[in-house]
Structure 1
């Protein structure tokens, strides 16, 4: 079964039992970045100097990507600040919702709704079919742990995870720390066309800036 980079990131972030997402804030950024990267790999968009340009509006054949392409095209044509950072800020919540719905529609996760204390609605997405995630983790293991050469999509996924410092989503526990150098090397390698690599770099810069701003704001609020 073909799944998008955004769906792969979402699967890595979801706890298999509880269905709750780990590192939800950072994951939102790279899910949105994963959709952009997928469109770049499909030669529907390109990124130049951090700006998003739509190169081809023809459908990709994937419903999740086609809805995203339509949204990006409409947005890029209506703003003078069509940067990757601006799009990620604008789109991360919608991207997460759309990606979860795509996974649910494919039967990979199920949706559970309940209320905490009888008041606050909570949605969970427990895994229904573990095959996709298992194959994904095996593929990442072959590349990161065993030294296999990545294809463009796998290297792109690694680049997004590394840029957001979410190594532990793919490699939990202490292993997450030990794989950082290998993931960094893969993220910086010449594995794809310049336009695709520019998408990765712009996403990494946007995530770093957002993370730094959030850290500064939190420190100021606590007086640290």
Structure 2
């Protein structure tokens, strides 16, 4: 069983190199959106007067969920979703380590060390067991191209795949345009929303808008020529 963040990170990781695949735009924002979305579905956080409020602090047994909830509780007052989409990605280095460690503990990734110039050492995480990612990809293929009904987790994952520019990576370049249109259609017509209450629907919409905006601004800033 995977969280949305684990599935997203797994899809954004090169199986052999253990590094982020080319073209994955601002995965930190995608992971932030994934975590906030799942905490919303778990009814641990909710929107109250446009502010994110922690409403259930029962331990989740997921380290990076606890990290995010702790961060929210340390805030002096409830903040809007845009605040957390700005703040949490800058703490994503450590949160990302916790997500990777979870995948290592599950036997999906393995940790290896490499040296550069025999001095500088860094860790990377190639795939140890490809069956889990293959099942995730196969299920997404069935949802997008064979009309299998997505549950809320799969629906959110598909949206984040598109937002993070991972559609070609997951579905292939030749199917990218078709897949993105299908993902938009699935999001617009999804029937799983009836299974969650209005508050969760509003929170999900806010998270997706904030994630899209944050990534768009980051990509724009990275592509603008420097001022002379």
Q: TM-score, normalised by structure 1?
A: 0.85
Residue 173 in structure 1 maps to residue 173 in structure 2: yes
Given that 2:109 and 2:125 are in contact with CA atoms closer than 8 Å, whether structure 1 keeps it comes out as yes
Matches within 5 A, 1:8-19: 8-19=7-18
Per-residue CA deviations over 1:91-127 (Å, capped at 9, x if unaligned) read 2223322211211122210112223334544321101
C-alpha spacing 1:119/1:70, structure 2 compared with 1 (3 Å): same
Deviation at 1:178, TM superposition (A): 1.9
Question: 1:145-224 to 2 correspondence within 5 Å?
Answer: 145-190=145-190, 191-192=192-193, 193=196, 194-222=198-226
Cα RMSD after superposing both structures: 2.4
Report which structure shows greater RCO (CA 8 Å, sep ≥6).
2
Hey, what's the Cα distance between the residues in 2 that align with 1:48 and 1:211?
Answer: 25
Matches of 2:8 and 2:220, distance apart in 1: 26
In the TM superposition, what are the counterparts of 1:54-69 in structure 2 within 5 Å?
A: 54-69=54-69
Deviation at 1:38, TM superposition (A): 1.0
C-alpha distance in structure 2 between counterparts of 1:49 and 1:106, whole Å? 39
Match of 2:136 in 1: 136
**Cα distance in structure 2, aligned partners of 1:162 and 1:129:** 25
- Asked whether 1:90 is paired with 2:92, we answer no
1:30-75 CA distances to partner (integer Å, 9 max, x unpaired)?
A: 1121111111111111135653111211123444434433333333
Aligned residues: 219
